[in-house]
Amino acid sequence: MIEINQISKSFAGKDAVKDLDLSIPDGKIFGFLGPNGAGKSTTIKMMTGILPIDKGSIVMNGIDVSKDPIKAKLQFGYVPDRSDIFLRLKGIEYLNFIADVFEVSQDMRKEKIEYLTKSFGIYEALNDHIQTYSHGMRQKIVVSGVLLHDPDVWILDEPLTGLDPKSSYTLKEMMREHASRGKIVFFSTHVLEVVEQLCDEVAIINNGHVQFKGNMAEMKQQFAEDDNLERLFLELTQNE
């Protein structure tokens, strides 16, 4: 379970996230939906310890991410919205590095690297440098790195952007499977359709505030009844 308690973050006096409260239960695919600039990435960066929290706290599986950052980092895997990392490493070197950090055994890593990279169609490129990869391939190698060490909590920032339809399907199936094992998949998107296809629960964020949280049926009902949400709905569907 992830508990986000009244967190705030501002940049140069301007609020990016303000008093945000969320509770993310185990065994769910949780969609974090909002238009560009809503505060999704800023929230995720606070969850993952990349940005310090100005106010409030985040507790992941009982561990406070600010007070016990190393232990908290063992709970989750994170796919950032930009996957331009470790460009000078070969794909296989990157995955072995991740496996070393998270102490994945030699036998296990060999099997998983082969399974994951074949599933995403990048197995043949493992001996090439990441800087030669396309955006989609970079995304896939980072996703493979996260799945390689099988963290309880997956935190994915716009994970489907840039993936081809087959890889997008594969990742969605993996997300469903992970949630069905009682684990958490938390992902952000600005595309309403993705949330409708995938999520058990959703929070809608706008201007750094949660405007709605609930299940899909409740979301549809709220969209129909609330003028503000209806306007937001139009903005979100225009992005599709």
Q: Which stretch binds ligand ATP (CB under 6 A): 38-46, 94-102, 163-171, 220-228?
A: 38-46
34 binds ligand ATP, rule: CB under 6 A? yes
Nearer to ligand ATP, 148 or 203 (CB): 203
> Are β-strands 201-206 and 76-79 bridged in parallel, bridged antiparallel, or unpaired?
unpaired
User: Binding marks (x or -) toward ligand ATP, 66..95, rule CB under 6 A?
Assistant: ---------------x--------------
CB of 11 to ligand ATP, least distance (A): 3
> Are β-strands 63-64 and 153-157 bridged in parallel, bridged antiparallel, or unpaired?
unpaired
Question: How many whole angstroms separate alpha carbon 194 and alpha carbon 160?
Answer: 9
Q: Which stretch binds ligand ATP (CB under 6 A): 34-42, 62-70, 119-127, 169-177?
A: 34-42
Residue 89's closest CA among 58, 61, 130, 56?
130
Question: How many whole angstroms separate alpha carbon 19 and alpha carbon 6?
Answer: 4
How many chain residues bind ligand ATP (CB under 6 A)? 12
Q: Which stretch binds ligand ATP (CB under 6 A): 40-48, 108-116, 148-156, 210-218?
A: 40-48
DSSP string, 134-197: -HHHHHHHHHHHHHHT--SEEEEESTTTT--HHHHHHHHHHHHHHHHTT-EEEEEES-HHHHHH
Residues that bind ligand ATP (CB under 6 A): 11, 16, 34, 36-42, 81, 190
